[in-house]
Amino acid sequence: MNIITSPISGLVVIEPRIFHDNRGYFYELYNEVKAKENKITYRFIQDNVSRSHQNVIRGLHYQLAPFAQTKLVSVLEGKIFDVAVDIRKDSPTFGHWYGLELSYDNHLQLLIPCGFAHGFSVLSKEAVVNYKCDNAYHSEAERGIIYNDPSLDIDWHINPKDAIISSKDKLFPGFDKAEINFCYGKSE
């Protein structure tokens, strides 16, 4: 696996090694031993899969500490624009976002540690997304930030008029009103 650093501390892109032959290809979606060799030491305990239609935006989601989740996001079918927003107080990149295209074709993964809000938009007709999580879902700790907050100015790579948003996601507060309890440099 190849580890690609992002402009935001803690966020990394993982590029798996693909083995092609006349039958197709093979790659490891996750290998704990190789992850540890690359200083990725999270213990993933839950896998989530979502299927979404084109122009859906999911997010921006997170769970408050101590129920926060580190996520390893990959696409099993289709193409998404994946986004992580730094919500760690005192971080030099607090309020900054990073996004990249994840797809079935490029096999890239985004490792999103605790202290980030996460969301994605669907760029293909449909997309199936896999999230490996290091903590279980706790509904009482679930929080979010409105996807179209002007202070974040996220380019979701779809026409805003075509965006399909859940009624729950439409009710999230703006970034400046979001409840967060993460501090930069401290373990959540």
Biggest CA–CA distance in the chain, Å, is: 54
Task: Enumerate the H helices of the chain as residue ranges.
Answer: 32-37, 167-170
Under a CB-based contact definition with an 8 Å cutoff, are residues 116 and 82 in contact?
no
Q: How many CB atoms lie within 10 A of CB 23?
A: 6
147 counts as catalytic: no
User: Any catalytic annotation for residue 131?
Assistant: yes
Q: Which of 42, 62, 98, 131 is catalytic?
A: 131
What is the side-by-side strand order in the sheet with 46-53?
Answer: 2-5, 12-15, 109-112, 71-77, 126-133, 46-53
Looking at 61, 62, 107, 147, which residue is catalytic? 61
* DSSP state at residue 56: B
Instruction: Give the span between the Cα atoms of 163 and 57, in whole angstroms.
Output: 6
- Which residues carry out catalysis? 61, 131
